[in-house]
Amino acid sequence: MKTIIDTHNHCCEFSADSSQPLKERLEEAQRLGLRGLVMTDHFDKWEDPDIASSEFHVLDIYPEDGEWVFNISDYIERIRVEQENLAKAHSSLELYKGIELGYRPYLVPAFREVSTFYKDDLDLLIGSVHNLSPFGYPKLSKLYAKGKKEAYTLYLEALMKMVEDMPFINVLGHFDYISRYNTYDDKKLRYVDFADHLDRLFKLIIERDIALEINTATQLVKNPSGQPIGLTDEAILRRYKDLGGSLICLASDAHHEGRVGQMFDQNKAQLENLGFDKLCHFEKGQIAY
């Protein structure tokens, strides 16, 4: 794990669905021998597009009830303090500042403002789709009723729309998120079933130097049989590489104790077998290894 930076992490101070404090996450990462962590807390503001259209400035953002946002300046400062503490303790753990932007079309101007205003402070921006209803698709629970083919296809289409709307993101977050919360017998996303959509999505991110995130939280989700989904379909990774893709981030998407760095050794071995010789992260928006 010495060479791996976990590029997707949440802590309970800034993400409503996380239970682990930042300090404990850092201690756990050091115990495991990880090279580094990128904190990427949730930034998903405003369920209601009418409210979202009102004027605001990123500096003024404080969460209202139930909103999955935080004051970005406070967040940056909090991580900076921990970076200082790590340096004082002569820790080799690298700590970076990132954000997971939850895509909704009406939030794109706000997200663009975040990306430009904090370009010297934030290292890595993840673009993620957690919810399809803000842009005219059914809620995930209803979408699943349409069956795997249609649900997964619509999700991949939403990702493409996000990448086109938000070319300023650095990382495509959990491209296989749609496989997490359904009840299908076989949840795994496979290249053979969605070849055309995956090709188009990969071309879009490759053209924009957006990295592909391998999200191990999805891999641990179980099928009804009790078997976990497991490692990413090799055919997906091979195709990404054949299309010219080389930027890969390895990410636990840890929200709770015991999750950081999960499945990293197996994933690293799989990627190396397929000829990916390095993992990437970003520093102030620039690709780094």
Token pair of 258 as six digits: 């015991």
Among positions 144-183, residues that touch Zn ion (CB under 5 A) are: none
69 neighbors 45 (Cβ within 8 angstroms): yes
In DSSP notation, 216-234 reads: HHHHTPBPTTS-B--SPPH
Beta-bridged to residue 272, according to DSSP, are none
Nearest alpha-carbon partner for 198 in 176, 170, 166: 176
Q: Which is nearer to Zn ion, 28 or 253 (CB)?
A: 253
Q: Please give the DSSP secondary-structure letter assigned to residue 147.
A: -
182 Cβ contact partners less than 8 Å away, ≥ 6 residues apart: 140, 144, 148, 151
Minimum CB distance to Zn ion, residue 272 (Å): 25
Q: What strands lie across the sheet with 171-172, from one edge to the other?
A: 5-9, 36-43, 94-102, 124-128, 171-172, 211-215, 248-251
Interacting span for Zn ion (CB under 5 A) from 26-34, 65-73, 128-136, 270-278: 128-136
In DSSP notation, 179-204 reads: GTS---S-----GGGSHHHHHHHHHH
Counting residues that bind Zn ion (by CB under 5 A) gives: 3
Considering only residues 18, 115, 128, 252, which one is a binding residue for Zn ion as defined by CB under 5 A?
A: 128
Interacting span for Zn ion (CB under 5 A) from 20-28, 82-90, 99-107, 203-211: 99-107
- Residue number with the shortest CB distance to Zn ion? 128
The pattern of x and - marking residues 229 through 258 that bind Zn ion according to CB under 5 A reads ------------------------x-----
252 neighbors 264 (Cβ within 8 angstroms): yes
Token pair of 269 as six digits: 């071995």
Minimum CB distance to Zn ion, residue 8 (Å): 5
Interacting span for Zn ion (CB under 5 A) from 18-26, 98-106, 107-115, 139-147: 98-106
5 neighbors 61 (Cβ within 8 angstroms): no
Minimum CB distance to Zn ion, residue 253 (Å): 4
Q: Which is nearer to Zn ion, 115 or 128 (CB)?
A: 128
Q: Which is nearer to Zn ion, 58 or 101 (CB)?
A: 101
- CA 289 – CA 287 distance, rounded (Å): 7
Interacting span for Zn ion (CB under 5 A) from 93-101, 106-114, 133-141, 191-199: 93-101
Interacting span for Zn ion (CB under 5 A) from 123-131, 227-235, 240-248, 258-266: 123-131
Q: Which is nearer to Zn ion, 6 or 253 (CB)?
A: 253
When asked if residue 41 is in the footprint of Zn ion (CB under 5 A), the reply is no
Where on the chain is the footprint of Zn ion (CB under 5 A)? Answer: 100, 128, 253
